[in-house]
Structure 1
Amino acid sequence: MKGVVLAAGIGKRMRPVTDVVPKPMVPIVNRPVLEHVVRGLAEAGVDDILVVVNYKQEQIRAYFGDGTRFGVSLRYLHQENPAGGTGAAALLGEEFVADEPFLLTFGDLMLSPANYRALVDSYRQRPTSGRITANWMEDPSAGAAVTIADDERLVRIVEKPPKGTAESNWNNAGIFVFTPDIFAAIRRIPLSPRGELELTAAIQLLADERGDVTVYRLEGLWSDVGNPARVLALNRAILTDTTLGVPVARCAEASGQAVVEANCAVAAGAELASCQVLEHSCVAAGTRVREGAVLRESTICSGGEVGAGCRLEYAIVAPGARVADGTELRGTPEQPAVAI
């Protein structure tokens, strides 16, 4: 099965991190979120993938190349206008997928990777014009509320329902299997009030006319990587709960005299002096943490450097950023401090 990954967005809510790196390259447990997506697709047998790119796309292309080291074939397509809506982005995959069912996903999602295989397998057991995914949320008003019939058929999908009005707690999770019929549906929908082609409107049209769009309920972890707080929350969740099944990039032993707590992750290729890495902190490959530095609930992205004697708490050091010796960088779970 082919796959189309939408990875062209700017990621405004992730600023200032996305001032230096595209959102799909933001690391979760020391790997870019897009790498988690690609690896999950590969394990599901989706090994011919088109990545739709725009903002800082050269970083994505340089990191992933042709996909060989991830066990897939990767191609890239530049999206001229990422503001055209999710439906417009999905249309860009039409020529690539030709006349076969394909998997479509957003490139900024973290989920328990077994869900990719389960989605594909369940679709193959019961082929339809579309199978979408849903995750349970207390309030789906920021996403799209999904109403599901007893036989898994999609009844209704409502984009960004006003708070308190959603008839379901199931939310559009952003991973789909479609036949090429979805492209004709996208072409027939009107522009939304925001002037965009909304994929959810095309899904509703397909469900109304074909009556066979079904819903797979995700299990385990699901989150979009929407803002800096979400990065730290995801690191904490994944490092705390191994049953989520998300692979963590870490080396077997800490280097030198560094103290690294078991609930942290230091990638191979990180250079640690006599420092402390504590409380769900993540240190990526190609980083340096100097003598006497203490990290708590923090993430050091690739190429970042933390100077001697620094104290970081609820902080993110962006790719290539340097925190000067003796700096105290303290944020909160809701608003992490960011060094760029």
Structure 2
Amino acid sequence: MKTLILAGGAGTRLAPLTSNIPKPMLPIGGKPTIEHVIENLKGAGLQDFIIVVGYKKDQIMDFLGNGYDFGCNIEYIEQKRIENIEAAILCAKKTLEEESEFLISHADIFTEPELIKRAIKQYNELEADGIVSVTLVDDPSFYGIVDLYPDAKIKRIIEKPAKGKEPSNFAAAGIYIFRPELLKQLSEDKKLDRAIDNIIEKNGNIYASVWEKDWVEIRFPWDLLKANEYVLEKEVKGKGVRISESAKISEKAIIRGPVIISDNVEIRSGALVRGPCFIGENVFIGNNCLIRTNSTIDKNCSIGFGVEIRNSILFEGTAIGRLSFIGDSVIGKNVEFRAGISTSNLPFDKRLKEIKETGNIKMNLDGQEVTIPIEKFGAMIGDNVLISNNVSINAGKKIGENSIIMPNILIDQDIESNTIVTSVHKLDIKPK
């Protein structure tokens, strides 16, 4: 069975992180997202892939090549006009309409091969016209929601239903199996949910394959932290401490819990690394640092004296200056934090109990203010940003790529790319 992987989108909700890199190439747990996706598909016995590329396509194609290095076969189809999932699928119409059936996968889902195996098995056993993998979600308003009969046959699919009008909490999980009939119907209807509904109306038997275990789809910035936690739980936790022979670890450093420490890492005296964590190649961690649960530090990063990093992702080449705190944040490539930088991961509010219960962190995504559905979220920093000494960044704020933040500033709003931020302070000096 051939697999169509949809990797052409621009990932605008993840800007500024996607300003220089396509979403499928964002690193999670030390590997690009699309590599995790391909590993899962291969684990389900699939090896012939058609990847729809578009935004910054060369990065994906250069990394994966023809698939030989990854034990699979890959061909590419370019989506010249980046629109939506339906347009991406129809890019492959000529290729897929010759197949008896095909599997469609999003390029940003983290799960187990068993989800895919289960969908294939049910497709064959039920002699179905289509299978949609589904999983339970807390907030259906973010997803395509599936209305089911008791036997898991699909009644209809509703894209992002209004709150209070959700037919269920079962969301489409980014894996589909269909016959070429879908392509014909999609050409007419232009919307995937409508095309599936019309196949059902024509007595097509389309079933949901229900997945009750962990699953993450990267739609929003906080999903990067969820995906990172998922990968570290699967690939690091329970496997002890794995330290490269070329790593230099001080006898007075403490490594506790499941941790991967890669080649040529140096960890100085007094540092504590508490897993699950991933430390990439050529990383320097200075004296008295605390690197703790669910943090990924990619290759060629430098962490200065007394820095604390919690539940965060640092892309390659980033330097964090002494006595800084990075919490629940995602930091792009080649970012430089000078000394004493703090990323707040909770809003400042006296009603702390209410914050824990409801979540008050707001974030601007594609021009809309969104309430973040997790308790803590820090900052999202684009590539090549320089932040000077003693800067504080409020929860949920973004700083665009190539920007410079001057010293002693509170960042309480999003900062556009390619800007310099300064603050004028006037001393008021009076006799005592």
CA distance in 1, matches of 2:173, 2:339: 42
Q: Compared with structure 1, are the counterparts of its residues 321 and 63 closer, same or farther at alpha carbon in structure 2 (3 Å cutoff)?
A: farther
The answer for the alignment partner of 1:192 in structure 2 is none
| Unaligned stretches of 5+ residues in structure 1 | 190-196
Match status 1:288 vs 2:273: no
CA distance in 1, matches of 2:3, 2:106: 11
What is the number of equivalent residue pairs in this alignment?
A: 330
The answer for the alignment partner of 1:146 in structure 2 is 146
Q: Compared with structure 1, are the counterparts of its residues 321 and 29 closer, same or farther at alpha carbon in structure 2 (3 Å cutoff)?
A: same
CA distance in 2, matches of 1:36, 1:320: 24
CA distance in 2, matches of 1:230, 1:166: 22
Match status 1:229 vs 2:222: yes
TM-score by length of 1: 0.87
Q: Which structure has the larger Rg over C-alpha atoms?
A: 2
Counterpart contact for 2:236–2:277, Cα < 8 Å:
no
Match status 1:311 vs 2:325: yes
Map 1:89-238 → 2, pairs under 5 A? 89-97=88-96, 98-189=98-189, 197-238=190-231
C-alpha displacement of 1:299: 0.8
CA displacement, residues 189-216 of structure 1 (integer Å, 9 cap, x when unaligned): 1xxxxxxx22111111122214311110
| Unaligned stretches of 5+ residues in structure 2 | 239-257, 347-374, 383-432
CA distance in 1, matches of 2:237, 2:7: 24
Q: Which moved more, 1:178-187 or 1:15-24?
A: 15-24
The answer for the alignment partner of 2:43 in structure 1 is 43
TM-score by length of 2: 0.70
C-alpha displacement of 1:165: 0.9
CA distance in 2, matches of 1:182, 1:36: 27
C-alpha displacement of 1:171: 1.4
SS in 2 for 1:52: strand
CA displacement, residues 49-89 of structure 1 (integer Å, 9 cap, x when unaligned): 11111112222222222222221112222212222x32221
Q: Which moved more, 1:19-28 or 1:282-291?
A: 282-291
User: What is the alpha-carbon root mean square deviation over aligned residues?
Assistant: 2.7
SS in 1 for 2:158: strand
Map 1:8-47 → 2, pairs under 5 A? 8-47=8-47
C-alpha displacement of 1:6: 0.9
CA distance in 2, matches of 1:109, 1:314: 20
CA distance in 2, matches of 1:113, 1:255: 35
Match status 1:267 vs 2:280: yes
SS in 1 for 2:18: helix
SS in 2 for 1:155: strand
C-alpha displacement of 1:312: 1.4
Q: Of residues 256, 260, 280 in structure 1, which corresponds to 2:267? A: 256
CA distance in 2, matches of 1:128, 1:37: 25
CA displacement, residues 100-133 of structure 1 (integer Å, 9 cap, x when unaligned): 3111011122223321222223323333221111
SS in 2 for 1:303: coil
CA distance in 1, matches of 2:80, 2:196: 24
Q: Compared with structure 1, are the counterparts of its residues 238 and 36 closer, same or farther at alpha carbon in structure 2 (3 Å cutoff)?
A: closer
Amino-acid identity (%): 26
